[in-house]
């Protein structure tokens, strides 16, 4: 197993280019199942999860050509579609569930085991199935966690779906399935994330008729078929936020390219509250944490456009370095505080009660042996290691590499002292 060795190196300085969004490219790749012609996806990041999704597409009968040198994936449909996704692929990645809606719409049946991924809390697929049933599908679930859940419908019919929670995955899955349903489908209390807008834009390029993506009410008029299209993935807003926090936590000066300011407003607002300078540029930001003493702040994670849960661990690591009392309230996932114990091993003063965390910052961090408990927790521990005294050993780095392209390389080019070694 590999680990990162991270050392304190002072402020990060320089320029970094943000990769295509992990949380956008995975549903885009799943959506190619709906097309009856080849699709080309550009600015695809070279991530483990992308590789798993490409293998999944091959397993259900598609020809996939990956060229990560230029960030391109071409997916071509074949005559035969396998409607049951291999369990070993499903267990590797939560986003594998996104193939269920397209498979159901295209072939009339989809069978999948419960998906795997980061253990950050319960993420059931009941809202996905609720949407499929609203469009006329019959679903069958088993008490055996290893047995597949099956959804079947000779022809999906338009329906009205109200989501009890604005789930991103359920919104995407239902929206994709509805593109080939007969009639009109409405999705109420829909998630509003930029990745959903990106997916809708791609589907509309393919001939779908989707309106309202990016609001809490989406309407889809079904069409008989979808054709091929070429689409460029949006920049990764969580990678953007991570490097913004990297500038803040190291009291550095970073210019961040290929970033969309509208996608990170909540992160920007909290950094400004702390006294971090965030200046928009032609294609991103210049972020400086070296201009003045920084202030504590309070954050509460919420569905978009609120503060993203995927930035909570990184921001918490930053707040441990800011003198004074800060608080964090996690409102999205009930099990997303596992990184706190690891930060405490580094000397962080954090007390928790339920989903509330109180941070007494400014006492200094020390290097320790810590482990990434999920993707974003791993990134947070790396950021903490950049300002900790001594050496920080971060294990379970496979989590980090699921969501950040060339993370260590980008950090090293900014002056970070970080190495990946085999344990």
Task: Write the DSSP assignment of 350-416 as a string of letters.
Answer: EEEETTEEEEEE-S--B--EEE-SSHHHHHHHHHHHHHSBSEEEEE-THHHHTT-TTHHHHHHHTT-
**How much is the average pLDDT of 283-300?**
97
For residues 420 and 408, is the Cβ–Cβ distance under 8 A?
A: yes
Decide if pLDDT at 336 tops 90: no
For residues 246 and 267, is the Cβ–Cβ distance under 8 A?
A: no
d(CA 195, CA 324): 35
Q: How confident is the model at residue 58 (pLDDT cuts 50, 70, 90)?
A: very high
**How much is the average pLDDT of 111-122?**
62
Report pLDDT for 143.
75
Report pLDDT for 80.
67
Q: Give the tens place of pLDDT for each residue, 321-330.
A: 999 999 999 9
The DSSP 8-state label assigned to residue 180 in this structure reads T
Report pLDDT for 122.
42
**How much is the average pLDDT of 14-19?**
98
Q: How confident is the model at residue 299 (pLDDT cuts 50, 70, 90)?
A: very high
Report pLDDT for 117.
46
d(CA 355, CA 174): 30
Decide if pLDDT at 121 tops 60: no
Report pLDDT for 118.
45
Phi and psi at residue 408, to the nearest 5°: -65, -35
d(CA 250, CA 411): 12
Report pLDDT for 116.
57
Report pLDDT for 115.
74
Decide if pLDDT at 119 tops 60: no
pTM for this predicted structure:
0.94
Q: How confident is the model at residue 120 (pLDDT cuts 50, 70, 90)?
A: very low
Domains and CATH numbers, the chain: 2-18+235-422 (3.65.10.10), 22-224 (3.65.10.10)
**How much is the average pLDDT of 404-417?**
97
DSSP for 244-268, written as a single string: HHHHHHTT-EEEEES--GGGGHHHH
Report pLDDT for 220.
98
Where would I find the beta strands (DSSP E) of 183-317? Answer: 184-188, 209-211, 217-221, 230-232, 253-257, 277-280, 284-288, 298-300
Q: Taking the alpha carbons of 136, 142, 143, 147 in that order, is the dihedral positive or negative? A: negative
Report pLDDT for 82.
85
Average pLDDT over the chain, rounded to an integer: 94
Token representation of residue 410: 């980008």
Report pLDDT for 90.
86
Decide if pLDDT at 29 tops 80: yes
- 125 contact partners, CB below 8 Å, separation of at least 6: 97, 100, 114, 115, 149, 169, 170
d(CA 97, CA 273): 38
The DSSP 8-state label assigned to residue 193 in this structure reads -
Decide if pLDDT at 225 tops 80: yes
Decide if pLDDT at 142 tops 60: yes
Pick the range with the lowest mean pLDDT from 78-87, 101-110, 145-154, 388-397: 78-87
- 144 contact partners, CB below 8 Å, separation of at least 6: none
Q: In degrees, to the nearest 5, what angle opens at C-alpha 377 toward C-alphas 369 and 101?
A: 140
* Residues involved in catalysis: 118
């Amino acid at each position: 197993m590999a680990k990162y060795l991270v050392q304190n190196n002072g402020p990060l300085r320089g320029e970094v280019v943000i990769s295509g969004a992990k949380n956008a490219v995975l549903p885009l790749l799943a959506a190619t199942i709906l097309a009856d012609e080849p699709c080309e996806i550009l600015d695809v990041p070279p991530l483990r999860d992308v590789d798993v999704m490409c293998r999944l597409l091959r397993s259900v009968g598609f020809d996939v050509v990956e060229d990560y040198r230029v960030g391109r994936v071409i997916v071509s449909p074949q005559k035969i579609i396998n409607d049951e996704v291999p369990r070993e692929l499903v267990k590797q990645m939560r986003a594998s569930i996104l193939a269920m809606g397209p498979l159901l719409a295209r072939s009339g049946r989809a069978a999948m085991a419960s998906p795997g991924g980061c253990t950050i809390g319960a993420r059931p697929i009941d809202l996905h199935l609720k949407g499929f049933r609203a469009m006329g599908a019959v679903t069958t679930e088993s008490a055996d966690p290893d047995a597949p859940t099956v959804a079947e419908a000779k022809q999906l019919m338009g329906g009205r779906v109200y989501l009890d929670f604005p789930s991103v995955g359920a919104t995407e899955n239902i929206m994709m399935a509805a593109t080939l349903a007969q009639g009109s489908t409405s999705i109420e209390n829909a998630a509003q994330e930029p990745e959903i807008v990106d997916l809708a834009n791609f589907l509309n390029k393919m001939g779908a008729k989707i309106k309202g993506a990016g609001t809490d009410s989406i309407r889809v008029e079904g069409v008989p078929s979808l054709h091929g299209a070429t689409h460029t993935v949006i920049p990764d807003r969580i990678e953007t936020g991570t490097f913004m926090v990297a500038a803040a936590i190291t009291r550095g000066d970073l210019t961040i390219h290929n970033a969309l300011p509208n996608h990170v407003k909540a992160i920007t607002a909290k950094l400004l509250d702390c006294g971090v300078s965030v200046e928009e540029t032609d294609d991103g930001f210049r972020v400086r944490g070296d201009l003045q003493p920084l202030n504590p702040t309070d954050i509460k994670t919420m569905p978009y456009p609120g503060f993203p849960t995927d930035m909570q661990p990184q921001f918490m690591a930053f707040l441990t370095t800011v003198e004074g009392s800060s608080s964090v309230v996690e409102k999205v996932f009930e099990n997303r505080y596992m990184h706190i114990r690891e930060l405490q091993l580094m000397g962080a003063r954090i007390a928790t009660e339920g989903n509330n965390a109180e941070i007494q910052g400014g006492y200094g961090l020390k290097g320790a042996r810590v482990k990434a408990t999920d993707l974003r927790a791993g990134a947070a521990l790396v950021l903490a290691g950049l300002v900790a005294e001594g050496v920080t050993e971060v294990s379970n780095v496979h989590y980090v590499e699921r969501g950040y392209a060339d993370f260590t390389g980008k950090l090293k080019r900014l002056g970070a002292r970080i190495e990946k070694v085999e344990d």
